[in-house]
Structure formats: C-alpha cells, structure tokens
Amino acid sequence: MYPPTDRQLEFLKKLGYSGEPPISKQEASFLIDGRKAGKKAEALEKAMLKARSKAEASWFKDQRHYAKMEIQQARDSDGVIAGFIIRIGRTCDGAKRYHGAFLPTHVAMKNPKLLPPYEGICQYGKCECEYEEMLKDEKISMDTPMILGPNKITTIGKHRRSRHGCARTLLLLAFIAFIVYLVVRYMGS
C-alpha cells in the first residue's frame, strides 16, 4: 500500500474535501473520482471508511494466518529455527516493549498472537512491524529481551542464568538423595 501523494492531497482540498484524510493512493483516487463525479464529500468519506475497515479486517486475518504458517514452519524445523526476532514499527508504540525481542518457537506456538501485528495497536496501512526467523546457531547478545509469554519479558542472559541455577539445584537435590540412600543402606546393614 502506498501513501497518497502530496499532489493528490492538494487536489482533494481544491475539490472541497476536508473529511478524514485518505491513507493510501487508492483511497485518494477514490475520493478524487467521487468529487469529480459530483458526489458529496460526507458520503465519500463514509464509503471510504467503510471500505477501509473491511480491508483492515482482512489484512489482520491474512497476517494472523501468515504468522501461524511461520510458527508451524519453525515447529517443524526440529529446532533449527529457534524462534523469531521482532521489530516494532514507528507507529506501533504500544508494542515497544517487544522491540528487538526474541520470541522462542515454543512460546510462539502457545501464543501466536505475540507475533505482530498486535490487535488494538497495529493499524492497517500504518503498521511497519515485522519479524524474522532466528536460527539455532545464530549469535545473539545476552541483553536481548526475551519473551516468555504475554507481557512476560526477561533477557536471554537472565533466562540462561536462571536455567543454570535450576540445574544446579536439581544436581544438589540428587546428591542429597544419594547421601540419604547411602546412610539408610549403611544403617540397615
């Protein structure tokens, strides 16, 4: 989708249109043609907005479908695709917290809506959010944000440390269990 040109916008003003501005070349031509044909500005505005919300709904549906396919591909890659790196567009400030973040495949599988566009934030024709696959062997900085669920964000470094900590605890527990086993066996003999 291309934004309307300055010439189109100027021409529209001359044609007496001062309603909701068009967001695409296509919308601008629709308004211009309508005004030239003598249609009322209010009626044209209404028709444009109606068509826009229809286009927005189908855009959203397409994007969600696309995201699901990407997630499926990652799931079927046997771990080769570790997840996705998300970039938030300039106009989607409401989702800023996900900018540059890593979304692991298993988290995306449970929450496909963590891939953009985001409902209530990303707008049709304005959203520039995108994401790309991240491969297992790709280097990534430890302070990269990492998404663990909706609004649950940590960093890759912190996540790794907590996992190591967990492994250490398990090892310690196993060691204690082993000692207890030895003591019990010793006392029993």
Binding site for Zn ion (CB under 5 A): 89, 92, 116-117, 122, 127, 129
Cβ proximity to Zn ion: between 15 and 55 the closer is: 55
Query: Regarding beta strands 81-87 and 102-104, do their DSSP bridges make them parallel or antiparallel, or are they unpaired?
Result: antiparallel
Least distance between Zn ion and beta carbon 35 (Å): 32
Whole-angstrom distance, CA of residue 136 vs CA of residue 33? 53
In this complex, which beta carbon is closest to Zn ion, that of residue 22 or of residue 116? 116
Least distance from C-beta 67 to Zn ion, angstroms? 12
Nearer to Zn ion, 83 or 117 (CB): 117
Residue closer to Zn ion by CB (options 29, 91) is: 91
Whole-number minimum distance, CB 132 to Zn ion, in Å? 15
**Separation between Cα atoms, residue 29 and residue 9, nearest integer Å:** 10
Alpha carbon distance 176, 168 (integer Å): 12
Rounded to the nearest whole angstrom, what is the least distance from the CB of residue 141 to Zn ion in the complex?
Answer: 23
Cα 154 to Cα 45, 53, 89, 93, 173: the distances in Å are 45, 36, 21, 19, 27
